Amino acid sequence: MNAAAAFAPPSPVGKPVRFGVIGCSSIVPRALLEPARYVEHSAVVAVANRTAAKAELMAEQYGIGTVHRTPAELLNDSEVDAVYIALSNDLHAEWIARAMKAGKHVLVEKPLCLHTEELDLIESALQEDGPSLLEGVMVRHHPWQDKLRTMITDHSFGRLRSVETSLCIPAKNGHKDNYRSRPEQGGGCFRDLGVYWLQFLQTLLGLEGADFQGQSSFDGPGGCDWTFQAQAKYPDGLRAAVLCSFERPYRCSHTLTFDDAVVSLNDCFRSNLGFYKMTLRIRRSGGLPAKAEFRPMNYYVNQLDYFCRIVRGMAVPVPFRESAERIRLLDSIYQSARQSRVK
């Protein structure tokens, strides 16, 4: 975050949103603790973890004032306004519901939950004028998505013909002792990375009406999908495809092919590591290459700032139906791939 001066969100009037952390996974510093230093209307005041020693170490390293013995104890803390849930995927639905019923706003790591039937549990905890809920798909909080959507809708380069996406991030230490290598906890690459693909398509094209398919050999640890391919076919003939993998060389990119140009975004996760410039590269048929550049931003800082503004009534929340639509598709594509493998 060495370019912090490039982004300084204005602080709303009033007290900061006070966060409690549930789960001390490795993503917590990058997704919340470090971004909170740049979002003045946020403060992390409490932490809880199954292993108390991890919570105590995180509290010491990041100056968190209160360590709770259990997540349930944290939810009873009147000094906590919102919780950040960083548990394994199979625990998301339960703790979202419990937190919201306790009157806490919720920022939860993606995916929102694992299975379609869990959506009912979450929805039952939602109330009009009640606590806010945001699924942490951090890439949606960057203007490059709006720019691409505009290129599509205003036909800047003619009709969009295809979208190719690669989300390949080699597993560090094979995700040993990590829920990502345990199917029963929602492990595998598609549940970890596929949500980004679906959010990307949802924003640019919508998901309704498309026919989705998925394939994997499920030959990763414990029978997890270590490489997963999925395709979407739209009624107008447009095709979109994604390659997700924990074993192939690093490559995270989107390539959009139009009638008159190819637009690409390389290293599309770069801004989750700090304040970086993102660039859309444009190759026009018979023309000189061009590009659309964005000032240095950090995905997680943008996300945290947006969430705090939702809590303070300064921003419009993301409708629950958007996350629900993605989860239904994520689960459906995953299950269809499993069934086809068995056959």
Residue 95, classed as helix, strand or coil, is helix
> How far does the chain reach from its first CA to its final CA, in angstroms?
48
Q: Each residue of 30-58: b (16+ CB within 10 Å) or e?
A: bbbbbbbebbebbbbbbbbbeeeeebeeb
What is the spatial distance between Cα 115 and Cα 134, in angstroms, rounded to a whole number?
A: 17
Nearest 5 degrees, angle CA 314-CA 316-CA 322? 155
Strands 239-245 and 227-233: antiparallel
Identify the active-site residue in 110, 172, 233, 277: 110
Task: Give 211-228 as a DSSP string.
Answer: EEEEE----SGGG--SEE
- Whether 110 is a known active-site residue: answer yes
Token pair belonging to 39:
């979002």
Query: Token pair of 33, please?
Result: 């603790």
Q: 66-76 burial by CB neighbour count: b if 16+ within 10 A, else e?
A: bbbeebeebbe
Contact 92, 114 (CB under 8 A): yes
Kindly report the length of the chain: 343
Q: Are strands 105-109 and 82-85 parallel, antiparallel or unpaired?
A: parallel
CA dihedral 48, 53, 56, 58 (to 10 degrees): -80
Hey, which residues are catalytic here? Answer: 110
